[in-house]
Amino acid sequence: MTNKASKQEQPVKIEVGQRFPLTIKRLGINGEGVGYFKKRVVFVPGALPGEEVVAEVTKVQPRFAEAKVKKLRKSSPDRVAPPCPIYDSCGGCQLQHMAYPATLREKRDIVKQAFERYTRLKPEELNVKETIGMEDPWHYRNKSQLQVGKQNEKVLAGLYGMNSHELIDLTDCMVQHPATNKVTEQVKQILEDLHIPIYNEKKRKGIVRTIVTRVGFATGHIQLVLITTQKELPKQKLLLDEITRRIPEVTSILQNINGQKTSLIFGEETVHLAGEEVIQETLGDVSFELSARAFFQLNPEQTVKLYDEAKKAAQLSGTEKVVDAYCGVGTIGMWLAKDAGEIRGMDVIADSIDNANKNAEKNGLTNAHYVVGKAEKWLPKWVKEGWKPDVIVVDPPRTGCDAALLKTIIEVKPKRLVYVSCNPSTLAKDINELLKAGFKVEYVQPVDMFPHTSQVEVVTQIVLK
Give the active site residues.
422
Collapse the DSSP code of 458 into the 3-class scheme (helix H, G, I; strand E, B; otherwise coil) and give the result.
strand
Phi and psi at residue 407, in whole multiples of 5°?
-60, -40
Angle (nearest 5°) at CA 35 between 109 and 41: 100
For 384-453, where are the E strands, in sequence order?
Answer: 391-394, 416-421, 439-447
CA neighbor of 102 nearest in space, from 162, 139, 51, 161: 51
At 457, the amino acid letter reads E
Q: What does the CA dihedral 417, 423, 427, 429 come to, rounded to 10 degrees? A: -160
How many other CB atoms sit within 10 Å of the CB of residue 225? 25
3-state SS, one letter per residue, for 53-116: EEEEEEEECCCEEEEEEEEEEECCCCECCCCCCCHHHHCCCCCCCECHHHHHHHHHHHHHHHHH
Strand, coil or helix: 164: coil
Other Cβ atoms closer than 10 A to 156: 18
| Residue 458 β-bridge partners | 421, 446
Q: What residues contact residue 241 under an 8 Å CB cut-off, 6+ apart?
A: none
Environment class of 341 (CB within 10 Å of its CB; exposed 0-12, middle 13-18, buried 19+): middle
Per-position b or e across 131-145, b if 16+ CB within 10 A of its CB:
bbbbeebeebbbbbb
Tell which residue, 184, 186, 228, has the closest CA to residue 209.
228
